[in-house]
C-alpha cells in the first residue's frame, strides 16, 4: 500500500469497540533480509512498497491510535519460503522463479524463465528447504524472524 499510516488510521475508525487489528509485514531488519540483500524476495515492489523494522511498524501503528497488545517475529510459511526463494534468487538469472511458478499458471508466466533458471529451481529447492528449516526456527527462537506481526487494539 502506498500510504500505510492513512490505511491504519482508516482501519482504526472501522473497528468496533474492543476490536482487534493485526498487521503482518516482512522484517527488513532481520538476518534473512541482511543476508540476501537486494535478492531478498520480500523487497519486491510492487507487492511491498514500504518496508518496516519492528520499531518503525510499532511507531506507525501507535501514530494511527493503536495500542500494541502482542508482537511476533515468525510465520513459518513466510520465513521458510523467504529463505528458499531468496537463495534461489542468488543462483537464478531472474528473480522469484519459484514464486512466479506457484502463483501463475504455465500459460500466464509473464517473466518466461529460462530453462536454466527452471532447472536450478528444481535442483536446489529441496536441499535449501531442508537445510534452512532449522536455521529459521533458530532465528525465530532468538527473536530474529523475517516476519513481523503486531496485534493491536
Q: What are phi and psi of 105, to 5 degrees?
A: -75, 160
Among 14-18, 42-46, 53-57, 145-149, the range scoring the smallest mean pLDDT is 42-46
pTM, rounded to two decimals: 0.88
pLDDT tier for residue 107 given thresholds of 50, 70 and 90: low
Domain that residue 124 falls in = 4-152
d(CA 78, CA 137): 12
Q: Is the peptide bond between 32 and the residue preceding it cis, with omega within 30 degrees of 0?
A: no
Query: pLDDT, tens digit, for every residue of 65-95?
Result: 999 999 999 999 999 999 999 999 999 999 9
Query: What local confidence, expressed as pLDDT, does residue 106 receive?
Result: 62
Give the pLDDT mean for 87-110.
Answer: 83
Confidence of residue 52 (pLDDT cuts 50, 70, 90): very high
**What's the number of domains the chain is made of?**
1
Q: Which residue has the cell 521458510?
A: 80
Residue 44 corresponds to which cell in the numbers above? 519486491
pLDDT at res. 44: 79
Q: Find where cell 528447504 sits.
A: 129
Q: Which helix (H) or strand (E) holds 71?
A: strand 68-72
- Helical (H) or strand (E) element with 26: strand 21-26
Amino acid at each position: 500500500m502506498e500510504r500505510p499510516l492513512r490505511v491504519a488510521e482508516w482501519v482504526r475508525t472501522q473497528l468496533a469497540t474492543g476490536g482487534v487489528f493485526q498487521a503482518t509485514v516482512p522484517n527488513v531488519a532481520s538476518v534473512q533480509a541482511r543476508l540476501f540483500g537486494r535478492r531478498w524476495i520480500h523487497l519486491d515492489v510492487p507487492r511491498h512498497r514500504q518496508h518496516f523494522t519492528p520499531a518503525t511498524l510499532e511507531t506507525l501503528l501507535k501514530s494511527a491510535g493503536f495500542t500494541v497488545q502482542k508482537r511476533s517475529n515468525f510465520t513459518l510459511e513466510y520465513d521458510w519460503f523467504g529463505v528458499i526463494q531468496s537463495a534461489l534468487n542468488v543462483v537464478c538469472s531472474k528473480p522469484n522463479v519459484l514464486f512466479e511458478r506457484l502463483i501463475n499458471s504455465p500459460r500466464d508466466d509473464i517473466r518466461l524463465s529460462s530453462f536454466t533458471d527452471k532447472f536450478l529451481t528444481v535442483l536446489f529447492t529441496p536441499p535449501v528447504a531442508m537445510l534452512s528449516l532449522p536455521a529459521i526456527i533458530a532465528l525465530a527462537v532468538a527473536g530474529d524472524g523475517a516476519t513481523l506481526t503486531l496485534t493491536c487494539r
